[in-house]
Structure 1
C-alpha cells in the first residue's frame, strides 16, 4: 500500500518512470499519501534518465479524492493537511520536468481530477468516469483542473450537480487521448509514453517548460484561490454539516 516508483532504467520501458498509487479500498488518499505522491513525481522528473512519467493506480478506481474519514476524525489539522497535500501533488504533476501520462481506470473523482487535469496526456479505460462530487462532500476545489478537461458551461453544470462524465465524452472534447478496454490500459499508456520517451531527453524538458510557460491559466494560483473557499466552508460550519450527512449515508 502507498506510492511506488519504477526507475527509468529498471521500469517497463527505457526512459519511462511508472508511479503507482495504491491505497485500498478506493484510493482515497490520506494527508501523508498526497505528500508521498508529490515527492515521487518530483523525484521521477528530476532523474536524468526519465523522459516520461506514467501515473497509474491499482484497484478498481484511479482516485477517489481525499480521505473524508480522516478529516472527520482529526478536524481542522487534517483539512489543512489535505489542502496542502493536494496542492503539492497537483503542482508536482504540472511541474514535473518531463511529460506525465495519466492512466485512468474506474472512478476519477475530486483530487483525481486535480491530478489528471494537470497531466500532459490522459489515457483512460472504457469504464473510467470523471467528476467533482465536492458539493456533496462539504468541500470545494479542483474546478481549475476540470476546466482543463471540459468547456466552461459544462464545467459549471458538472460542478453544481456533482455529476460525472465518461472517458468517451472527454475523448469527444479532446481532453482524453485514447479510450481502451480496461485490460489494455497500462499497455496503452506505456505505448504512448514510449513514443514520447523516444525523443531527445533534454529537448523534452525544454518543451515541457515552454508549454507550461504559455499556459493561459496559472494553475497553482487558481487552485489556491479555490482552497480559500474550502477553508471558509469549514470554519463557517457548512462543511461539517454536509460531511455529517455523508457519513450517515454509510460512505
Structure 2
C-alpha cells in the first residue's frame, strides 16, 4: 500500500499508487506521490515516467473521511496543498509523464492526468469531477486540458463523467485498450519516448511547458480559493455530510 517506483524498462520509471479500496489519497499520499514523481524526473537515467495504479480505479480523489474526522480546517488546507504539490510534480517533471488510466479517474485524478504529457486509457476508464457533489471545487483547470470548454463546464456542473472513448475522440487520450493490456500499452509509449536522446527530451519537455497558454499552477490555486470559501461558509460541510450519508440531504 502507498506509492512505489520500479524500472520495468530501460529509461522508464513506473510509479504505482495503491491506496485501497478506491485510491482516495490521504494528505500524506499526495506528498508521497509528488516526491516519487520528482525523484524519477531528477534521475539522469530516466527519460519517461509512467503513472499507474493498482485496484479498481486510477484515482478517486481525496480521502473525504480524513476531512470529516477533522473538526477544523487543518486537513482541508493540508490536502489542498498536497494536491497542488502532486499536480505540479507531474506537470514540472523533467521528463514526459504517461498516465495509465483504468477504471474511475475522479477529482484529484483529473488533476494528475490533466497535467500528464500523454494518457493511455483502458476501455472501462471514466473521467470526471464530482466536486460539487462533495462540497469542493477545483481541477477545472485540468479538465479543461482534456475536453473543449463548453463540455468541461457541463461535466463540471453536472458531476457527470466522460468515457475513455469520448476523450480519445477529443484527442486527449492517446490510445484506448482492453484493461488487461493497459500497462503494456503505456509502457510501449513510454519506451518509444525513452528511446530519444535524454538531454533533448528534457529540453523538449521544458520548451513545451513554456509555451502553454495557461499557468496551471496559478490557475488551480485560484480555484482552490473558492474551495476555502465554501468551507468557511459551511456549505462544504453540509454537502460533504450528505455525501457521506449517501447523498440523501442533497
Q: TM-score range by the shorter chain?
A: over 0.9
1:119-153 CA distance string (max 9 Å, x none): 00000000000000000000000000000000000
Q: Shift of residue 216 of structure 1?
A: 0.3
Report the counterpart of residue 160 of structure 2 in structure 1.
Answer: 163
SS at match of 1:12: strand
| Match of residue 222, structure 1, among 219, 223, 243 | 219
Does 2:27 match 1:16?
A: no
1:110 equivalent in alignment to 2:110: no
2: CA distance between counterparts of 1:3 and 1:78? 20
Query: How many aligned positions are there?
Result: 247
Specify the alignment match of 1:180 in structure 2.
177
Q: Give SS of 2:4's match.
A: strand
1:230 Cα deviation from its structure 2 partner:
0.2
Offset from partner CA, 1:29-82 (integer Å, 9 cap, x none): 000000000000000000000000000000010000000000010141110011
Which sections of structure 1, spanning at least 5 residues, go unmatched?
A: none
CA RMSD of aligned residues (A): 0.9
Give 2:91's match in structure 1, choosing from 69, 90, 94. Answer: 94
- TM-score with structure 2 setting the length: 0.98
User: How do 1:24-63 residues align onto structure 2 when only pairs under 5 Å count?
Assistant: 24-63=20-59
The answer to whether the aligner puts 1:70 opposite 2:72 as a matched pair is: no
Q: Per-residue deviation at 1:12?
A: 1.1
Q: How does 1:136-147 map to 2 (within 5 A)?
A: 136-147=133-144
Separation in 1, partners of 2:86, 2:244: 26
Task: State the SS of the aligned residue for 2:49.
Answer: strand
| Equivalence for 1:152 | 149
Q: Secondary structure at the match of 1:98?
A: coil
Runs of 4+ aligned residues of structure 1 deviating over 3 Å after TM superposition are none
What is the 5 A alignment of 1:181-200?
181-200=178-197
Once residues 245 and 152 of structure 2 are traced to their aligned partners in structure 1, the CA distance between those partners, rounded to angstroms, is: 29
